[in-house]
Structure formats: structure tokens, C-alpha cells
Amino acid sequence: METIYLVLLIVAVSLGAGLLPQVLASRVTSRGLSDLTGLASGLLLVSAFVVVVPEGFHTASTGGGRFDLDPVMLGLAALAGFIVLLVLEGLGIGHAVHEEHHDHATGHGHEHVHHPLSGGVVAIGLSIHAVADGLAIGAAAASGEASFSLLVAFAVVVHRVPAALSLGIFLLHQPGGRRAAVRGLMLFTLATPVALVLSYLLLDGADPSVLALVLLFSAGTFVYVATVDTLPAIHNPDVGRRAVRNVVSSAAAFAMVLVLLNGAGVLEHGHHEGVAHDDGAHLEEEHADHAGEGS
């Protein structure tokens, strides 16, 4: 049931933010969108390093997995997530839409703004990134830790707001009108929920070592998305300091919330099934020994 609620929330946020430019196009400013992207990226970075990475290592350390994973293999899984999205970006399937906020802001009132990439390619690129988001939430839900999966979902949902806004603005300036814009937006909207459900079904009850690798792969994709969204603004001398402040402030605030939640015991890990079964078997053996002594 929790997974269904997450799917509905992601669909509502993605569609709502993506369709907003069609209603309030003149009010969506480049500066506001850049600020929102920076704030969301800070949350995504903290989610990767403070939530997903520790959970991946914890899952691998609980034992009972088919593969004996050392820290190097776990680190390589995170690196793989980063490299996969980097390669996709190099192939022209990525977050290029975020680098053109200034073109969108100044392009209102014209037939459309010309871009090196078509709206369809950009929608597909962002949708592939959205699949990675769905994989992260699905893997988190499959871990059985409710607080953990909700934190990952929170970071993803917040980050989808500027991504959907950017895509909505971009598509409005492409040939094909609003119908084409809505089709591209629907592709982006459904990518994460579909990936979430499929990954949850595939990973629910999966081998702990496999789940650990998937979690760390997802952490690598989080780090890539957060950095590629913010680096263009940070490297811009006019807005660089403001962009850094946005990322650092949101990261610090979210990290402090996590510290407080952890101190309150909200983020404590529950017993994984393999450990619970081992404890139960130990108790049964001890009970049998006592019974034998009594006879």
C-alpha cells in the first residue's frame, strides 16, 4: 500500500509541475528555477551519501547473501551508477535541458526556441534519469526499512519539481504544440512509477548482496544527477555563489534533520529476515538442549 501512495504522489508532482508552465509560463523565472534546482540537488546529495550509501553497506554487512562483497566491490557499484549516467550524457541523452533555462526565460512570445536537441530526445533523456529514480525508491522499499524508503522518496520527489518544470518549459518551445509537450511530459511522469513498481517486485525478498549493489548503484546516479544539475550554475560567475549557497544550505538543513531523526531512534534498522531466522533457530536449539537436560 505504501508503494501505491508513492506512485500516486510522484505522478501528481510530476504532472503538476510539468503542466504549470502552460498556465503560468511568464511567472516561471530562470532564477527561481535555478534556485529550486540547487535546493533540490542538496537534498539529493544528502540522500545519496547519508541515507542510501550507509544502507547499502549495512545491507551487505548483514550476511546471508549469495555473494561475499568487500568494500571495493560496493564502491564500484556506486561508481557504476555515476559512470552509466555520464556515458548517457555523452551520448546526448541527459540533463541538457537544465543548462538552457536562460533561453527559455527569454524565449516567451516567440514561435519556439531552437535547440540542438529535439524535445523528444530531451524527454527520453530525462525519462531515463527518472527510471534511475524509480530504481532507487523500489530498492529502498524492497529493503523493508520504511523510514529509509520514505527519505529516499522524499528527496526524489522534491528533485522532480524543477526537473518537470524545466521539461515543461522546454517542450512548450518545441514544434508540435501542447499535445507534443503533454506526450513528452507523460513519458517523463510514468518512467519513475513504472521503474519503481518493477524494481520493487524484482527486488522484494532478493538476495541481500544483490540489493546492496542496486542501492549503491542508485546512490551513484543520485550523485551524478545532483552535480550535473548544479555545476553549470556554479561555474557561472554571475550566479555561482548563489548556487553554492542553495546547495549547501539545503544539504545542511536535511543533514541536520537526519541527525535529529537518528538521535530520536526513527532511523534505527529493523531486523532483517535472515538475522531473525538465525535468532529463532538458535532459540529453538537452546530450548531443545534444556529439554534434553531435564529428561
Of 116-130, 162-176, 202-216, the poorest mean pLDDT is in 116-130
Judging by beta carbons within 10 Å of its beta carbon (0-12, 13-18, 19+), is residue 71 exposed, middle or buried?
A: exposed
Higher pLDDT, 107 or 92: 92
**pLDDT category, 215, cuts 50, 70, 90?**
very high
User: What integer pLDDT is reported at residue 269 of this predicted model?
Assistant: 63
pTM of the model: 0.80
Q: Domain ranges in the chain?
A: 2-294
* 126-149 confidence digits (pLDDT tens): 777 788 889 999 998 888 888 888
Q: Which tens digit of pLDDT belongs to each residue from 104-119?
A: 444 444 343 444 455 5
* 218 has a pLDDT exceeding 90: yes
Higher pLDDT, 34 or 95: 34
Residue 124: predicted pLDDT: 72
For residue 55 the three cell numbers come to 544502507
pLDDT at 229: 85
Overall average pLDDT of the 59-87 stretch: 88
Residue 284: is its pLDDT beyond 50? no
Q: What average pLDDT does range 19-23 have in this prediction?
A: 75
Mean pLDDT in the chain?
79
**CB–CB of 258/48 below 8 Å?**
no
**Mean pLDDT value across residues 47-61:** 92
